[in-house]
Structure formats: C-alpha cells, structure tokens
Structure 1
Amino acid sequence: PQLLLVELFPFGRRQMRFELLPLLDAARQAADRPLIVSSVRDVLGGGQKDPQRQQRMLELFDRYFDHVLVHADPSLVPFERTFAHVPELGARLHYTGYVVDPLPDSGTSATAQLGRGEVLVSAGGGAVGQGLLETAIRARGLTRLSGERWRVLAGAGIGAPAFAELGALARELHGDGVVVERNRADFTQLLRRCRVSVSQAGYNTVMETLQAGARAVMVPFAGGSESEQTLRASVLAERGWIDMVPEHALTPASLAQAIDRAADRAATVPGSLRFDGADVSAALVRRWLSQHKA
C-alpha cells in the first residue's frame, strides 16, 4: 500500500496493539515503505492523567508515524487538552476540522415536515443509553413541552425486550404523545427540524447536532473511567451552545429543567467551526502521497 491509516493508535486502541504493532513493524520495514498516518478525534478517551501512558503514546508515534490527523477545531478543543506532548509533534500534527456528513436536503414535500417542533431523544447505537431514553420519557410531563410530540430513537444495542419496555412505558404515561422507534436514516433531518434534541455526547452525534443548529441537551456517558464525552459536552456548555446534565445528576426533573432552558435558546449553527474535515483530510493525504512518490 502507499498509505497506512490507523484509527486512534497510538493515542488509543491499546487493546489492539498485539496486532497493530506487527503491522506497523512490517510497514516500516517494507522496501517500498508506505506513509503511516494516525487519525484521531477531538478528545482522547483515556490516559489523560497518566504521564507514563502519554509518554508511551509519543514514543510509539515517533517510532512509526509520519503524521497525525486530528479531526477537530483547535479554537474549541485543542489537542493539548488531552495529550501533553503536542509541542513534540510539531509539524506532524494537522487539524482537519470536524468530520461530519453534509446535511441532506429537506426531503420531499411529503416528508419535509416530519419531526418539526418535536423533542428528539437519541442515544446512539449502544445499550448504555437505555437509562437516558427512559428518563426522557418520564421527564416529558414535567416540561413546558409536554404538549408536543416526542420522538425516542433506540439503537440496535438495545435489545427487543428493553425496546418493548420503553414503548410500553411511553404508552402508559403519554398515550400516543411519544413515538418510540429504532434509529432512523433521516436522523440529521430530524435534528434540523426538532424543537430540542436530547442525546449523549459522542463525536458523531455532537457534530451532527452542531451542524444542524439544533437546540440541545446532552447527557455525556461517564461509565467507568470514561471522560471523553464529559469534556466534549463541558466545552460546548461553557460556550452556551448546549445545556448539559451530568450522568450522575440525571433525573426526570433535572432533565426536564434542562430541556426547558434549551427550548428558550436561539437555534444557531456555530459559524466559527469547520465541518469539512473529510475533504481537508483527503486533500492532505493526496498532497503527502504526491510528495512521498517524488
């Protein structure tokens, strides 16, 4: 290959080093050595407070990698917030802006109004968001938006029994005022039309929410030693772009209060942020490859 692009490693994916290190050794020793590039998100998920682990990240990067693509905007979350050795990376570090699919058009006339004015509740594809979905259903009656339709989207990680329980709870408390369904392909369109979005704070969801200009409440996942989502959501809350409810403080009442606050906020797209990270990444890779061949 001309290019070996590795997600997160050596800044993450430690559990995969048993197969990544032999791959990197083989690439480095190849007669026609490929470019080796690491691709990371805005916030590292672990090792932020472990100096030895951070030093090991730098050593592995120095040994194997030519560049690192950081899919973020340094004006919002500079890489040094979670990686201590940014000065040592020097010109090998490249910010691309955020990677997010372009917003689709508004849809056909038959679907263009679907979701308009709703409260949209989502939790990604995993099972860890079930508690958030249930809490949101219970919070509806406590908000000023209790008369609006709420749409609760459950990911594939929530099994059939739990999905059925969510539907039963919604019907019991709210009749047909809450729709419980599986994740939808038109999620970003629903984001653009909703009154308020309620979600966790994973990279993809956050970027889609910001790009859509949706008023948002975020409940960052904080299980175990996870700090990635909390840092990401905290930075946005400090800017006044979202309302945040820490996972440990999540109750129907606290969520309802945050939803009411978000509903009063103007819906704006942060104009200073770049969402063309995919195009920028591709352009950088093309340039490096042309230089590498030369």
Structure 2
Amino acid sequence: MKNLLFYSQPSHDIGHLIRSMAIVHSLTQEFRVYVVNSGGVIQDFPTLEGIEIVDLPITQTELSDSKLSVASLPIDNISDRRRKRLLELCDRIRPAAVIVERFPFEHHHLAAEIIPLLDRSKDYGAQTICSLGDIVISPTNKADYETETCQLINQYFDQILIHGDPSFISLNESFSCIRELTCDIHYTGYVVPDVDREFSPEAKTKPMILVTVGDGRLGHGLLDCVAQASQYLEDKIPHHIQIFTGPFVPMDIYRRLQAMAIHCSNLTVQRYTLDLLSYMVQADLAIGIAGYDMTLNVLQTGTRAMLLPFGGNVEPEQTRRLARLQERDILKIIEPEELDPILFSFETLAMLNRYPKPNDICLQGVKITTTLVKALVTLKKPFNLLNPTLEPLPCKDSY
C-alpha cells in the first residue's frame, strides 16, 4: 500500500476538521495516510485508528486561538522547525501523493514550508493535489492575488479537487483566472460525512421544530427570539420547540432560556446533542445559524429550514450559498430585522406551510475524492472522470 501525506489546517474550525477526517478515513482504503496537523493541537479530538498524525509546532498567528494549545517546542525559529519536520516526514515515508488543503488559494504565509515539501515530494515521484472549497475569498488586490496563485498552482500541483458542485456554484465565479490553470481539475461534490447514512423511522410523539446555533458562541439573539416566539406559537401549532444552545453558550444566556422554558410547555432547552442529524430528520422545521455544516445538514436531510447568515450577513461566502439555496426554494434566509418575536412567529407559521423543493446537489465528495486521488496516483496522468472544461456540468453521485 502506498503512502499519502495529507497537510491539514484544522485551526480553520472544528467542522472543517471533521470533514477533512472523513476524507482521510476514506483514503485509508487505498493508502497509508500520514496527516500533518499544521494548525495546532485540538484537545480531546478523537483520532482515527491506523492514521499517523504529525503535529507541527504552532505558529505565532495561531497562538491567540482559544481552541488550540501550544505545542511543546519553543516558538523561536518556528518556521525552520516546522519546515524541517515536514521534510523529515517526507523523506521517511516517500509519499506517492501529497494533498494540501487550500494552498495556494489561501495560507500564502505558509509558502516557506509548503513549497519545500512539494519540491521534496516530487523527488519521490509524488502526485501533488490541492484540496479546495467551492468559493475563494480573494484579498483586495485580486488581480495580483490570482496571478500569483495561478503561477504557484501551475508550477507545483498536478491536480485541484474542488469540493463543490459546479451546477450549484462554479469556482470561476470567485476565481476568474481558472482557465489559466494547467493542472487536472475536478469537482468532487460537497464533503458530507456519513452521507449515505440511513435513518430509521421513529414514531413522533409530537411534531417538532429544531433550533440550533452550532457551538453557542454566536446566535444568542436568534435563541432569545425563538424562545420568546414560543409563547405566541403555543396555542397555534402542536409543535414542540427543541433548542440546542451549543456547549459554549454563556451561562447567563443558558439560564435565562431555561427559565423561559419553565413557563412554556412547548419549549425545551438543552446545551447540545451528539446526534443532531437524527433530530433534523425528525423535525418539521430547522431554525439556526447558517454555518457551512448546518447548510450541508439541511441539504442532506431535506428538512425545511430558516437560517440566519453566519455573522449577521457579513460572511460573503456563506451569504452567497444561502442566496442560491433560497433562489431554489430549498430554505429561507432570516434577515436580522426579522428577529422580532411576534414577526418571527408569523414567519414560522408561514414556513411550516411551505414544502422545500428537493435538491440534486452532489454530496458525494468523500467517495469521489478517494476515487480521483487513487486514479491520479495509479495512472500518473490526469483522469477524465469529470470533463475538466470547468463548465457547470452536473456532478454525478457515483462513478
């Protein structure tokens, strides 16, 4: 079995790490996988059996991130230490493939360690792959940024895997120089762990509205609004409102919501669940913050949804996806001015009378990524699994 080096950036967010590990787990069917954890140690995150994880010393940029703990090595000459550890790993495992997340579309500050890794891996005949999301957020100087990115891709990479569906969002909408890239380019579909999971039907004691705001650091106004709206909905619909505040919600907010639930027979407030998808499948309506993971959960389950843009409509990446989904009648965007309990209760009633349109957006990113990487390593040349013309072709569910 050949070796594969997967350079990961888990400091981006926990949801991103979970999606990356889903790809890694699938790749272990074909490769011995070595994961380079370049973003710092995330405490208590479960590791996968049979995968070697190499933690790099944390960078100065990441020291302020509360989710990370500083690695044991001192931070003087940190770049040299990180680069040396990467090259030692490359020499030890002689990888057949190297997958790098998002570079050079993002993380240009890590070029001093990633480029030497790519150069060294080529000495061993490795195929080099960029793993990329569906939307690129460009800096202000977009022209210079795109020119530099194209040069780096064309010089160092054999393949780009875009984890998206071009019939929904095409990369050339956010990266205009895509036709200047000379490497193999494929869309994989969105990466959804357990996408083929089957949910056993359960008898509902009461119809349910699910409310969730992720880890609880944001969305407090939405939680308050729903909790207050529950009293207006109590005698109008039979639904029970299940709120998950997230484990990091401030204690004063959690206690206030629990106090409100005592006086509302249709409201339950809990911190979190380990199986949110099961609740979503059972729910008649899901209300929440529109983070990337919540959006994919809605696509996977097909549940009616009302979502408030992450960060109050200031995240262009999330807002763009939401606008497309609302145009397709898959969900409704909650505008900040709609966070009035009475108005929100009417919006909730209206949404319960609507039926979301089924979506055909490809969610098979885990399986398709593994197929494409295996083909590239085996054939040592571009693999025409999808026509890489970069036109918005439909992404197939299986190959």
Interval containing the TM-score (normalised by the shorter chain)? 0.7 to 0.9
Gaps (5+ residues) in structure 2? 1-94, 382-399
Q: Secondary structure of the equivalent of 1:44?
A: coil
Deviation per CA, 1:84-128, whole angstroms, max 9, x where unpaired?
222223662211112212253334x8xx23686211111222512
Point out the more displaced range, 63-72 or 216-225: 216-225
Q: Is residue 2:218 matched to residue 1:218?
A: no
Point out the more displaced range, 127-136 or 231-240: 127-136
Determine if contact 1:242/1:262 at 8 Å carries over to the other structure.
no
Give the C-alpha shift of residue 241 in structure 1. Answer: 1.2
Q: Percent identity?
A: 25
Deviation per CA, 1:215-250, whole angstroms, max 9, x where unpaired?
111111135952111111000001111111234654
Determine if contact 2:242/2:268 at 8 Å carries over to the other structure.
yes
Q: Is residue 2:148 matched to residue 1:56?
A: yes
After TM superposition, the structure 1 = structure 2 runs for residues 70-89 of structure 1, keeping only pairs within 5 Å, are 70-89=162-181
Aligned mate of 1:23, from 86, 108, 114: 114
Q: Secondary structure of the equivalent of 2:256?
A: helix
Residues 228 and 290 (structure 1 numbering): CA distance in 2 closer, same or farther, change over 3 Å? Answer: same
Q: Is residue 2:213 matched to residue 1:123?
A: yes
1:156 and 1:248 map into 2 onto residues whose CA distance is 26
Determine if contact 1:46/1:228 at 8 Å carries over to the other structure.
no
Point out the more displaced range, 232-241 or 245-254: 245-254
After TM superposition, the structure 1 = structure 2 runs for residues 27-42 of structure 1, keeping only pairs within 5 Å, are 27-30=118-121, 31-42=123-134
Residues 179 and 22 (structure 1 numbering): CA distance in 2 closer, same or farther, change over 3 Å? Answer: same
Q: What is aligned with 2:44?
A: none
Give the C-alpha shift of residue 44 in structure 1. Answer: 2.9
After TM superposition, the structure 1 = structure 2 runs for residues 204-283 of structure 1, keeping only pairs within 5 Å, are 204-222=293-311, 226-247=315-336, 250-270=339-359, 272-283=360-371
2:186 and 2:224 map into 1 onto residues whose CA distance is 40
- Structure 1 moving runs of 4+ over 6 Å: none
Q: Is residue 2:256 matched to residue 1:165?
A: yes
Q: What is aligned with 1:194?
A: 283
Q: What is aligned with 2:395?
A: none
1:139 and 1:52 map into 2 onto residues whose CA distance is 49
For normalisation by structure 2, the TM-score amounts to 0.63
Deviation per CA, 1:174-230, whole angstroms, max 9, x where unpaired?
2x4211113322211211111111122222221221221101111111359521111
Q: CA RMSD in A?
A: 2.8
Give the C-alpha shift of residue 64 in structure 1. Answer: 2.6
2:119 and 2:206 map into 1 onto residues whose CA distance is 53
Q: Secondary structure of the equivalent of 2:144?
A: helix
Point out the more displaced range, 123-132 or 187-196: 123-132
1:7 corresponds to which letter in structure 2? E
2:101 and 2:203 map into 1 onto residues whose CA distance is 38
Q: What is aligned with 1:291?
A: 379
Determine if contact 1:245/1:258 at 8 Å carries over to the other structure.
no
Determine if contact 1:216/1:243 at 8 Å carries over to the other structure.
yes
1:115 and 1:268 map into 2 onto residues whose CA distance is 26
Give the C-alpha shift of residue 20 in structure 1. Answer: 5.0
Aligned mate of 1:96, from 188, 195, 206: 188
Residues 90 and 220 (structure 1 numbering): CA distance in 2 closer, same or farther, change over 3 Å? Answer: farther
Q: Is residue 2:109 matched to residue 1:3?
A: no
1:102 corresponds to which letter in structure 2? V
Determine if contact 1:212/1:269 at 8 Å carries over to the other structure.
no
Determine if contact 2:157/2:183 at 8 Å carries over to the other structure.
no
For normalisation by structure 1, the TM-score amounts to 0.84
Point out the more displaced range, 150-159 or 140-149: 140-149
Gaps (5+ residues) in structure 1? none
1:224 and 1:51 map into 2 onto residues whose CA distance is 26
2:141 and 2:241 map into 1 onto residues whose CA distance is 40
Give the C-alpha shift of residue 254 in structure 1. Answer: 4.7
1:119 corresponds to which letter in structure 2? I
1:55 corresponds to which letter in structure 2? T
1:10 corresponds to which letter in structure 2? P
Q: What is aligned with 1:106?
A: 199
Give the C-alpha shift of residue 3 in structure 1. Answer: 2.1
Residues 28 and 253 (structure 1 numbering): CA distance in 2 closer, same or farther, change over 3 Å? Answer: farther
The number of residues matched between the two structures is 284
Deviation per CA, 1:42-100, whole angstroms, max 9, x where unpaired?
22345388333333333332333222211111111111222222222366221111221
Point out the more displaced range, 203-212 or 30-39: 30-39
Give the C-alpha shift of residue 268 in structure 1. Answer: 4.7
2:241 corresponds to which letter in structure 1? W
1:115 and 1:127 map into 2 onto residues whose CA distance is 31
